[in-house]
């Protein structure tokens, strides 16, 4: 690397010494000092990304915010905050918020605890590679594929109930996807089955970056087992935990695919999360204004939650 | 990394990068241009494009198109989008462009009215009148195809809601197709005792939740059903309560499949004798035949008898619709094909493929099960009622179907369900009327 950089240096055209170029060519260079040129060049490189994000993300977002202030009649008129008051008086949206909260708690706590436990237990063990593979594999599957598999299990005629009946536990057999809040809880479990894998990987990486000396020092001081983990290992996994919680938080808030394939938010719109409600209102109930309001609220919640959390947890030093 | 060393070596490298970027740019431009041109709907001489949401029917359209070509000079070119939700959105948007498909498949009733009132569909009234003069349509079918007096759709087919049953299973238990309500209950009891779930009922996929609702309400009182779907009767009226109580009673007795039963497994469950009777549109005949059962030999179907024997017989019907967008690329050709779709020669090929019934009363279905039912319905003057799914403003139907799904899982009582449906009906009918004015 260094040699190539060294070789390059002389050949780089300096701002004031362009050997062999005519004086007219150097005129613009004088008028635009290097700092300005760098800025222009930087802007040039950024432009495609900024344009893409602007056109594909910011403009649609602005349109959505705008649309949310108009009603859903055939000739749409200005409605102020009417679409937002649905959150107060529409029982479906109230239930949707309850479910979203359950999803957030479930998708943050379960992958964090399970991911950490599996990572710590398999780290260094002889069979750890195989164990890790098994845990991580579901993460490679798409949400819809996972949902189809879980549908075979959770359906009333599915594997879970058949297994219960085979063991004589008929009274425990039920319509897992039919009753609230049970259906939301089992879907959170299905989601955890898939997403715990990535938490395991992150924690394993975290564990491997912990300096051996700290563990050895703790052992010499007489700390072992649980105490060593709690006072020495865990504090050093803080950055990784921040990332795991942060991504889980966002994933929980935007959960859609699993729910859509398993229950379509039903029965009777009882298992919807905000992301599903947004789709239902916009495309099935043909209420684009209400759907836009749900989208705006969901975006605001995701942004505020992520910002508050990351601002508190990630200092500029990165620790 | 060495290649970045000298100036002489750098120039081909940056040229490479530029050509890659240029290539990507040109590729993107070509793709965009391709999209913008809308090749799929462009004029292709001798054909009319037909947008639809069921790719498994493509062969049927092609076969019917061959017959149409003999009459009009234009065959059918099906363009399928297999996801119904996405199909609805894409179609609604594309109707506003100059590249609209020549014909579209749509749902009848209020779905068609919603689309017609955007002004993007062609008026087919004169075609309808010609059909009526030839006796190729029945006049009661007109209402579900029209908006503000003008016709905007031609019926694609006419399905009946029937209960399919496995003849061998019925024979084994000494049962026959019930002629009265009491016989239906008897069949259910016998099947239940034999370990067979008597009826398929589900809310999986959302819309099937209204199948039993429309069936039971119309079998309690067909006149009330007609009033209910036109907003002139209330969901909290006695007849609706009676229907939901019957339904709840059936569920409590264990006569119905779990509310998350997958209807796609219905034909297999019927064949294996796990379920006794499968309430569904007669188009399902094709799916049951696909399991290897022969219509009329291995399986048959009956229309649910009325709850009270003095109540007139009725059958719920469903018609898909062919419509012609106002901006159809080959508009003249599309109108010609719409004017000949119900020709018995075309319908013969089409219904033989579909194994279902034609909207043309003179066209006899090739499927003996469906042909028998249609003959009887015509002979005995059964009241033909439109399906619930198309019989009200789409938002009303969507919300009420959700309520029925909730009822099927026991999450809400019959009274609470009907109150919620009635409240929504008041609100949504008012919204529809307001939009009309």
Those of residues 118-157 in B touching chain A at CB distance below 8 A are none
Q: What is the pLDDT of residues A217-261, one digit of tens each?
A: 988 888 888 888 888 889 999 888 988 888 888 888 878 989 999
Please name every residue paired with B281 in a beta bridge, in sequence order, or none if there are none. Answer: B161
**Which one of A71, A175, A268, A286 makes the best mutation probe of the B interface by having the most chain B beta carbons within 10 Å?**
A268
| B406 Cβ under 8 Å from any chain A Cβ | yes
Please name every residue paired with B166 in a beta bridge, in sequence order, or none if there are none. Answer: B299
pLDDT the model gives residue B35:
52
Token duo for residue B349: 């090929």
CATH number at residue A162: 1.10.3720.10
Residue A9 lies in a domain: no
- A284 and A188, same structural domain? yes
State phi, psi for B173 to the nearest 5 degrees.
Answer: -100, 10
- Minimum mean pLDDT among A18-27, B117-126, B294-303, B342-351: which range? A18-27
Instruction: Determine, for residues A74 and B1 on separate chains, whether the beta-carbon distance falls below 8 Å.
Output: no
| B2 Cβ under 8 Å from any chain A Cβ | yes
Please name every residue paired with B159 in a beta bridge, in sequence order, or none if there are none. Answer: B318
Interchain CB contacts (distance < 8 Å): A and B: 80
Given a cut of 50, whether residue B80 has pLDDT beyond it is yes
Given a cut of 70, whether residue A12 has pLDDT beyond it is no
How far apart are alpha carbons B144 and B150 in whole angstroms? 11
Residues in A touching B5 (Cβ below 8 Å):
4, 7-8, 11
Residues in A touching B411 (Cβ below 8 Å):
179-180, 267-268, 270
Which residue among A73, A264, A287 sits closest to B206, beta carbon to beta carbon?
A264
- A309 and A188, same structural domain? yes
Residue A194 lies in a domain: yes
Token duo for residue A68: 């949310």
Q: What is the pLDDT of residues A160-175, one digit of tens each?
A: 999 999 999 888 888 8
| A14 Cβ under 8 Å from any chain B Cβ | no
Instruction: Determine, for residues B85 and A283 on separate chains, whether the beta-carbon distance falls below 8 Å.
Output: yes
A230's CB contacts (< 8 A; 6+ apart) are none
Distance between B282 CA and the closest CA of chain A, angstroms:
26
Distance between A92 CA and the closest CA of chain B, angstroms:
11
Report the mean per-residue pLDDT for chain A: 84
Residues in B touching A283 (Cβ below 8 Å):
85, 89
- A89 and A62, same structural domain? no
What's the pTM?
0.82
Which residue among A75, A180, A287 sits closest to B411, beta carbon to beta carbon?
A180
Residue A180 lies in a domain: yes
- A36 and A152, same structural domain? no
Report the mean per-residue pLDDT for chain B: 90
How far apart are alpha carbons B175 and B191 in whole angstroms? 9
- Minimum mean pLDDT among A21-25, A142-146, B143-147, B232-236: which range? A21-25
Residues in A touching B7 (Cβ below 8 Å):
11
Residues in A touching B205 (Cβ below 8 Å):
264
Averaged pLDDT for residues B260-277: 94
pLDDT the model gives residue B345:
94
- A108 and A40, same structural domain? no
- A282 and A148, same structural domain? yes
| B260 Cβ under 8 Å from any chain A Cβ | yes
- A155 and A51, same structural domain? no
> Which has more confidence, A16 or A1?
A16
Token duo for residue B358: 């034609």
| Owning domain of residue A132 | 82-313
Would you kindly state where each structural domain of chain B is located, as residue ranges?
A: 41-158+319-361, 159-317+388-436
Residue A268 lies in a domain: yes
Q: What 3 state SS string does chain A have?
A: CHHHHHHHHHHCCCCCCCCCCCHHHHHHHHHCCHHHHHHHHHHHHHHHHHHHHHHHHHHHHHHHHHHCCECCCCCCCECCCHHHHHHHHCHHHHHHHHHHHHHHHHHHHHHHHHHHHHHHHHCCCCCHHHHHHHHHHHHHCCHHHHHHHHHHHHCCCCHHHHHHHHCCCHHHCCCCCCCCCHHHHHHHHHHHHHHHHHHHHHHHHHHHHCCHHHHHHHHHCCCCHHHHHHHHHHHHCHHHHHHHHHHHHHHHHCCCHHHHHHCCCCCCCCCCCHHHHHHHHHHHCCCHHHHHHHHHHHHHHHHHHHHHHHHHHCCCCCC
Topology adopted by domain B41-158+319-361: D-Maltodextrin-Binding Protein; domain 2 (3.40.190)
| B395 Cβ under 8 Å from any chain A Cβ | yes
Residues in A touching B266 (Cβ below 8 Å):
none
Given a cut of 70, whether residue B31 has pLDDT beyond it is no
pLDDT the model gives residue B3:
38
- Measured distance between the N- and C-terminal CA atoms of chain A, rounded to whole angstroms: 30
- A175 and A62, same structural domain? no
- Minimum mean pLDDT among A37-46, A121-130, A182-191, B418-427: which range? A121-130
Using 50, 70 and 90 to split pLDDT, how confident is the model at B139?
confident
pLDDT the model gives residue B347:
95
Residue A301 lies in a domain: yes
- A195 and A275, same structural domain? yes
CB burial readout A212-251, b (16+ within 10 A) else e = eeeeeebeeeebeeeebeeebbeebbeebbbbbbbbbbbb
Using 50, 70 and 90 to split pLDDT, how confident is the model at A312?
confident
Kindly tell me the number of DSSP H helices and DSSP E strands found in chain B.
17, 13
Q: What 3 state SS string does B157-205 have?
A: CCEEEEEEEEHHHHHHCCCCCCCCHHHHHHHHHHHHHCCCEEEECCCCC
**Which one of B200, B400, B402 makes the best mutation probe of the A interface by having the most chain A beta carbons within 10 Å?**
B402
Would the ipTM clear 0.90, i.e. be above it?
no
How far apart are alpha carbons B365 and B355 in whole angstroms? 7
Token duo for residue B243: 């229907």
Instruction: Look up residue B249 and give its DSSP letter.
Output: H
pLDDT the model gives residue A198:
87
pLDDT the model gives residue B37:
47
Residue A224 lies in a domain: yes
- A114 and A33, same structural domain? no
Q: What is the pLDDT of residues A56-76, one digit of tens each?
A: 999 999 999 999 999 888 778
> Which has more confidence, B126 or A23?
B126
Which residue among A73, A175, A179 sits closest to B431, beta carbon to beta carbon?
A73
pLDDT the model gives residue A54:
93
Using 50, 70 and 90 to split pLDDT, how confident is the model at B427?
very high
- A151 and A49, same structural domain? no
Residue A45 backbone zone (phi > 0: left; psi -120 to 50: alpha; other: beta): alpha
How many structural domains does chain A have? 2
| A91 Cβ under 8 Å from any chain B Cβ | no
Give the dihedral of Cα atoms B351, B355, B357, B359; nearest 10 deg: -30
- Minimum mean pLDDT among A25-34, A255-264, B24-33, B156-165: which range? A25-34
Residue A309 lies in a domain: yes
Given a cut of 70, whether residue B364 has pLDDT beyond it is yes
Instruction: Determine, for residues B117 and A179 on separate chains, whether the beta-carbon distance falls below 8 Å.
Output: no
Which residue among B117, B261, B402 sits closest to A266, beta carbon to beta carbon?
B402
Given a cut of 50, whether residue A15 has pLDDT beyond it is no
Instruction: Determine, for residues B5 and A285 on separate chains, whether the beta-carbon distance falls below 8 Å.
Output: no
pLDDT the model gives residue B311:
95
Distance between A238 CA and the closest CA of chain B, angstroms:
37
Distance between B254 CA and the closest CA of chain A, angstroms:
13
Instruction: Determine, for residues A267 and B409 on separate chains, whether the beta-carbon distance falls below 8 Å.
Output: yes
Strand residues in B181-319 grouped as ranges (E): 197-200, 275-281, 299-302, 314-318
pLDDT the model gives residue A30:
58
Q: What is the pLDDT of residues B155-207, one digit of tens each?
A: 999 999 999 999 999 999 999 999 999 999 999 999 999 999 999 999 988 88
Instruction: Determine, for residues B395 and A286 on separate chains, whether the beta-carbon distance falls below 8 Å.
Output: yes
pLDDT the model gives residue A254:
79
CA nearest B57: which of B287, B325, B371? B287
- CATH 3.40.190.10 describes domain B159-317+388-436: yes
Say if CB B420 and CB B138 are below 8 A apart.
no
Averaged pLDDT for residues A281-307: 89
Using 50, 70 and 90 to split pLDDT, how confident is the model at B28?
confident
- A185 and A162, same structural domain? yes
| B261 Cβ under 8 Å from any chain A Cβ | yes
Say if CB A74 and CB A288 are below 8 A apart.
no
Averaged pLDDT for residues B318-337: 94
Say if CB A194 and CB A143 are below 8 A apart.
yes
Residues in A touching B4 (Cβ below 8 Å):
4, 8
How far apart are alpha carbons B75 and B378 in whole angstroms? 32
**B41-158+319-361 matches B159-317+388-436 in fold:** yes
Chain B residue with Cα closest to A263: B204
């Amino acid at each position: 690397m260094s040699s190539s950089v060294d070789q390059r240096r002389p050949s780089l055209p300096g701002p004031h010494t362009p050997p062999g170029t005519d004086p007219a060519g150097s005129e613009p260079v004088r008028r635009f000092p290097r700092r300005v040129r760098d800025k222009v060049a930087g802007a040039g490189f950024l432009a495609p990304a900024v344009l893409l994000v602007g056109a594909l993300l910011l403009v649609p977002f602005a349109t959505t915010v705008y649309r949310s202030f108009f009603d859903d009649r055939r000739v749409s008129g200005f409605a102020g905050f009417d679409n937002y008051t649905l959150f107060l008086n529409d029982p479906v949206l109230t239930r949707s918020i309850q479910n979203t909260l359950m999803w957030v708690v479930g998708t943050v706590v379960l992958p964090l605890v399970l991911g950490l436990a599996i990572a710590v237990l398999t780290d260094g063990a002889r069979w750890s590679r195989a164990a890790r593979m098994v845990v991580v594999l579901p993460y490679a599957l798409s949400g819809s594929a996972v949902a189809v598999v879980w549908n075979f299990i959770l359906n009333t005629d599915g594997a879970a109930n058949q297994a219960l009946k085979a063991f004589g536990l008929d009274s425990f057999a039920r319509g897992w996807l039919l009753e609230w809040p049970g259906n939301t809880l089992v879907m959170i479990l299905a989601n955890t089955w898939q997403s715990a894998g990535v938490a395991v990987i992150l924690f394993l990486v975290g564990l491997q970056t912990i300096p051996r000396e700290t563990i050895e020092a703790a052992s010499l001081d007489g700390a072992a087992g649980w105490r060593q983990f709690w006072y020495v290992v865990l504090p050093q996994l803080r950055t990784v935990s921040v990332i795991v919680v942060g991504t889980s938080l966002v994933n929980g808030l935007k959960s859609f695919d699993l729910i859509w394939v398993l229950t379509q938010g039903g029965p009777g719109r009882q298992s919807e999360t905000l992301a599903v409600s947004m789709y239902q209102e916009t495309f099935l109930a043909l209420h684009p204004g209400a759907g836009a309001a749900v989208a705006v609220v969901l975006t605001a919640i995701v942004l505020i939650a992520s910002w508050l959390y990351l601002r508190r947890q990630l200092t500029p030093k990165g620790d | 990394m060495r290649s970045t060393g000298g100036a002489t070596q750098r120039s081909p490298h940056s040229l490479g990068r530029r050509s890659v970027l240029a290539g990507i740019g040109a590729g993107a431009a070509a793709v965009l241009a391709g999209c913008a041109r809308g090749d799929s709907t462009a004029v292709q001489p001798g054909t009319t494009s037909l947008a639809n949401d069921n790719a498994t029917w493509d062969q049927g359209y092609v076969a019917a198109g061959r017959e149409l070509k003999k009459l009009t000079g234009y065959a059918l070119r099906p363009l399928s989008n297999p996801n119904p939700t996405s199909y609805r959105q894409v179609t609604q948007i594309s109707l506003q462009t100059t590249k609209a498909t020549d014909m579209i498949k749509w749902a009848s009733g209020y779905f068609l009215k919603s689309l017609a009132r955007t002004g993007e569909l062609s008026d087919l009234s004169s075609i309808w009148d010609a059909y009526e003069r030839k006796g190729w349509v029945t006049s009661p079918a007109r209402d579900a195809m029209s908006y503000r007096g003008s016709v905007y759709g031609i019926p694609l087919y006419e399905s009946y809601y029937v209960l399919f049953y496995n003849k061998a299973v019925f024979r084994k238990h000494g049962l026959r197709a019930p002629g009265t309500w009491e016989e239906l209950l008897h069949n259910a009891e016998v099947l239940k005792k034999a370990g067979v779930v008597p009826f398929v009922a589900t809310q999986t996929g959302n819309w099937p939740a209204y199948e039993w609702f429309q069936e039971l309400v119309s079998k309690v009182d067909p006149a009330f059903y007609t009033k209910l779907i036109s907003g002139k009767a209330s969901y909290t009226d006695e007849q609706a309560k009676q229907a939901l109580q019957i339904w709840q009673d059936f569920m409590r007795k264990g006569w119905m499949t779990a509310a998350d039963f997958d209807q796609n497994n219905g034909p297999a469950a019927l064949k294996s004798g796990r379920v006794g009777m499968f309430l569904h549109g007669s188009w399902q005949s094709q799916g049951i035949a696909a399991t290897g059962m022969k219509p009329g030999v291995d399986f048959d179907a009956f229309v649910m008898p009325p709850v009270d024997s003095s109540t007139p017989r009725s059958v719920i019907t469903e018609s898909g619709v062919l419509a012609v967008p106002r901006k159809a690329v080959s508009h003249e050709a599309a109108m010609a094909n719409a004017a000949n779709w119900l020709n018995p020669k075309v319908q013969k090929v089409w219904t033989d493929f579909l194994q279902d019934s034609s909207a043309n009363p003179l066209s006899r279905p090739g499927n003996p099960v469906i042909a028998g039912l249609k003959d009887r319905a015509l002979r005995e003057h059964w009241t033909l009622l439109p399906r619930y799914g198309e019989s009200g403003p789409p938002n009303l139907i969507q919300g009420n179907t959700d309520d029925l799904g909730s009822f099927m899982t026991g999450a809400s009582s019959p009274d609470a369900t009907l109150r919620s449906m009635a409240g929504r009906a008041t609100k949504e009918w008012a919204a529809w009327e307001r939009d009309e004015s």
